[in-house]
Amino acid sequence: MELNGADIVVRCLAEEGVDHVFGYPGGAVLYIYDAIFKQDKFKHVLVRHEQAAVHAADAYSRSSNKVGVALVTSGPGVTNAVTGIATAYMDSIPMVVISGQVPSHAIGEDAFQECDTVGITRPCVKHNFLVRDVKDLAETMRRAFYIARTGRPGPVLVDIPKDVTVAHCKFVPRRGDGDIHMRSYSPVVKGHQGQIKKAVQMLLQAERPMVYTGGGVILSDAAPELQRLVELMGAPCTNTLMGLGGFPASDRKFVGMPGMHGTYEANMAMQHCDVLLAIGARFDDRVIGNPKHFAQTPRRIVHIDIDPSSISKRVKVDVPIVGNVKDVLAELIVQYESMLADNPPNAAALAKWWEQVETWRAKDCLKYAQSDELIKPQFVVEKLWEITGGDAFVTSDVGQHQMWAAQYYKFDKPRRWINSGGLGTMGVGLPYAMGVQMANPGSDVAVITGEASIQMNIQELSTCRQYHLSPKVLCLNNRYLGMVRQWQQIDYGSRYSESYMDALPDFVKLVESYGHVGMRIEKTADVEPAIREAFKLKDRLVFLDFITDRTENVWPMVKAGRGLTEMLLGSEDL
């Protein structure tokens, strides 16, 4: 059958099972939008800024494990999308971004709305393509989806010149499951048997075992396997910011998040274990602090990761296992169970280790001074957790509120906590909520944000109105760029350079003008009733503007460049 390029794009998206496309039209993609007008396979969501389209597609993927899709026009459409693409790239999110390009004959002539899309996006995509001939279009689209979702996932961009979208060629529907053979790309799935055996032996000999997991467990849907393994080992488990929900936070074996704002018990256990099992995590600077300090305490490390370049990048490991986390864990569990009887772990040592962990936990490092007067931001998150039964999808922006959300909302399930971990992009919260709600209609969605972050994509209140999206936005309003202010207080002699948010809008009036519900909460006693009321308004976006304690800091804290156990537990440690 003969189709034009635009129709081929639409057909390929339908073949991949895409049900939502987030985008914004423009000159170079008009044929594609015309084809979208004539189809009913997927819904197009019109955002108000291309950055938000990409964030929404990203969160759609994070909360569902489907490939997110965004569609933008050439030039500024692409440059606006770059922040979203880089955000997804840093967190390894499978996504396909389709961009329009000026007609082939005009490429390189500095045409209107032209930019070197493939060049600009190259460092922040897993792969990208410029389609030069309509005959290559269908195959390129299929490759894009295959590359995005396999191996270490990531965003893939397909740049399509306008003339390609109107040219015709024969279209052959896809056969099979969409897996493509490429001689230059064959991701590893299964782990090396011998390495897994070595790892199991090491784990069985451990006296102070520790399990440390990251986003890889979430991305490969390996939470059930992780839970089973931790159960078998009886070891303490920590999840990074990207890995929260990988292991149930309500389980006693969970010791909280590690790292710069991790718990005392998680950081101490990371440092003092004798065997560390790292799963789908990459020993990030925010997680282990100074690698030299981390290496001072001897421990053996087993590292499971799908990306060989993540292994021995910052920390030398003893047993590397390259493979898909879910497959490797399944095999590891089988071997662990079969070797367990002949090599029983040292139960007395494990009991002693737990005793030690419990003394660290007894420090209760997340306690904070409650106040009747000022609203404590931590209290707002705790109440949100209580009221939603710990079962909401929670998106956040970036800063103090993000850390409080990660510390005080106890995630029991994967894919519920949606945030920008790697790139740390302010402004993701609201568009993330849009993507999450599109992927999970009927679920409770909360945005934990600050008065600074929310303004970075506040135009999306309009998109939420158009599509009747109803996230509950909890704005922890401290009239400061809180995390910047905290660092300035601690490291820059309290010189609060440009970290004060002046001339804030009246958020209640602002959201009302978009047709949403706004509330301003200034007293501790009003926090709980306000959140309850907001969640009763099922079909409405409710913006809760919490006027919080201005100078609250995030504790514990490991200062940048310091060792993981050099923790400040509160202002008394300054």
Q: Which of 361, 360, 437 is nearest to 395 (CA)?
A: 437
Of 123 and 298, nearer to other proteins (C-beta) is 123
**According to DSSP H, which parts of 518-574 are helical?**
524-536
Q: How far is the CB of 308 from other proteins (least distance, A)?
A: 5
Q: In terms of DSSP bridges, do strands 542-547 and 417-418 run parallel, antiparallel, or are they unpaired? A: unpaired
Q: How far is the CB of 92 from other proteins (least distance, A)?
A: 12
Of 152 and 416, nearer to other proteins (C-beta) is 152
Of 313 and 559, nearer to other proteins (C-beta) is 313
Distant-in-sequence, close-in-space partners of 120: CB < 8 Å, separation ≥ 6: 78, 79, 82
Of 135 and 479, nearer to other proteins (C-beta) is 135
CA 167 from chain centre, in angstroms, equals: 38
**Which amino acids are annotated catalytic?**
50, 112-113, 162, 483
Q: How far is the CB of 319 from other proteins (least distance, A)?
A: 16
Q: What is the DSSP-derived secondary structure letter of residue 301?
A: E
Q: Which residues pair with 542 in a beta bridge?
A: 472, 517
- In angstroms, the CA 45 to CA 58 distance is 14
Angle CA(89)–CA(90)–CA(92) in degrees, nearest 5?
A: 60
Q: Which of 568, 570, 549 is nearest to 368 (CA)?
A: 570
Q: How far is the CB of 390 from other proteins (least distance, A)?
A: 37
Q: Can you tell me which residue has the tokens 């760029």?
A: 481
Structure tokens at 502: 């002046």
Cis amide bond preceding 556, omega within 30:
yes
- In angstroms, the CA 283 to CA 299 distance is 14
Q: How far is the CB of 184 from other proteins (least distance, A)?
A: 4
For residue 347, the surrounding DSSP H or E stretch is: helix 347-361
Of 11 and 126, nearer to other proteins (C-beta) is 126
For residue 472, the surrounding DSSP H or E stretch is: strand 472-477
Q: How far is the CB of 188 from other proteins (least distance, A)?
A: 11
3-state secondary structure at position 289: strand
What's the number of CA atoms in the CB half-sphere (13 Å) around residue 270? 32
Of 183 and 292, nearer to other proteins (C-beta) is 183
3-state secondary structure at position 553: coil
**Number of other residues whose CB lies within 10 A of the CB of residue 258:** 31
Of 127 and 272, nearer to other proteins (C-beta) is 127
Count of H-run helices and E-run strands, the chain = 22, 21
Q: How far is the CB of 406 from other proteins (least distance, A)?
A: 28
Contacts with other proteins, residue ranges (CB under 8 A): 118-119, 122-123, 126-127, 130, 147, 152, 182-185, 307-309, 312-313
